[in-house]
Structure 1
Amino acid sequence: MFMGEYSHTIDAKGRVILPAKFRDELGSSFVVTRGLEGCLSVYTMEAWINLANGMKKLKASKENVRAFKRFLFGSAAEVEFDRQGRILIPGTLREYAQLKKDVTILGTGDKIEIWAQEAYEEYAAKIVPDMEEIAESLDESLDIEF
């Protein structure tokens, strides 16, 4: 399980280091793609395959399904760590997430998110005050307590 919040920097070549405990769980290769709210999503190969299999079950005749598949799969890149534990984020993904220098790396349970630090701070400032209301709106069938 991925959890925690970390601050790192991205270098001029588009490389960023991921926390050691994330590297251990990700394995030798994994997938980085566009995420929602302007961040990048990082999936283990197993989670990526599960996501892809789930997406195959959606009706391709629906325009929204086709659009989301293009969004998700069209930007996806399989990546590996270099010897220093860094990953190279492709230019199109850096551009999408507006990654310039400072980044925030979040573990969100089943995946990792990479945010431009300023974008994440703006998002958190907007969403955190509403967290009690958001928690109330979650599916009650989950049978979990906060």
Structure 2
Amino acid sequence: MLFGTWRLDRTSDGRFVLPSAWHAVTSAGLTITRGFEPCLQLFPLATWQPLAQRVSSLPLTAAAARMLRRLLFSAAAQLVPDAEACVAIPPRLLAYANLAAGAVAVGMVSYVELWSPECLAQGECSS
């Protein structure tokens, strides 16, 4: 399970180190995408695959379903933590969530939200 709040600093090569408490859940790989607010969402593969199937089964004729697909899938990327549990987040996603200096990881049980410290302190940044 993914819970708790963790400050993630960037390594000298720009990667983020995931909390050791999450290694068992994240070591098989993750999918990262934009969040609904200006944050990022990290999904373990076991969570992402059923979610992607449910969203993909929504009717193409529904505008809200198409918008959700665009939000989740257009920016999605696969991440595989290295031996030190570090992940490299694509630059376009770092820019979207304003994570240039660091991030705060918030465990949401089945997924993780990555926020800029400033946005999380405010409750939400405008997108």
TM-score by length of 2: 0.90
Alpha-carbon distance, 1:83 to partner = 2.7
Aligned amino acid, residue 60 of structure 1: L
Counterpart position of 1:70: 70
Cα distance between partner residues in 1 of 2:97 and 2:39: 5
The count of aligned residue pairs is 124
Counterpart position of 2:2: 2
Q: Does 1:35 align with 2:35?
A: yes
Counterpart position of 1:134: none
Cα distance between partner residues in 2 of 1:71 and 1:46: 20
* Structure 1: tracts of 5 or more residues without a match: 125-146
Counterpart position of 2:58: 58
* Structure 2: tracts of 5 or more residues without a match: none
Q: Does 1:110 align with 2:83?
A: no
Cα distance between partner residues in 2 of 1:22 and 1:69: 27
Cα distance between partner residues in 2 of 1:39 and 1:23: 21
Moved more, 85-94 or 54-63: 54-63
1:62 and 1:13, CA in 2 relative to 1: closer, same or farther beyond 3 A?
Answer: farther
State the secondary structure of the residue aligned to 1:81.
Answer: coil
Counterpart position of 1:135: none
1:14 and 1:65, CA in 2 relative to 1: closer, same or farther beyond 3 A?
Answer: farther
Alpha-carbon distance, 1:13 to partner = 4.1
RMSD: 1.5
What is the identity percentage for the equivalent residue pairs of Structure 1 and Structure 2?
27
More helix by share: 1
State the secondary structure of the residue aligned to 2:37.
Answer: helix
Cα distance between partner residues in 1 of 2:44 and 2:28: 9
Q: Does 1:19 align with 2:39?
A: no
Cα distance between partner residues in 1 of 2:56 and 2:119: 32
Larger Rg: 1
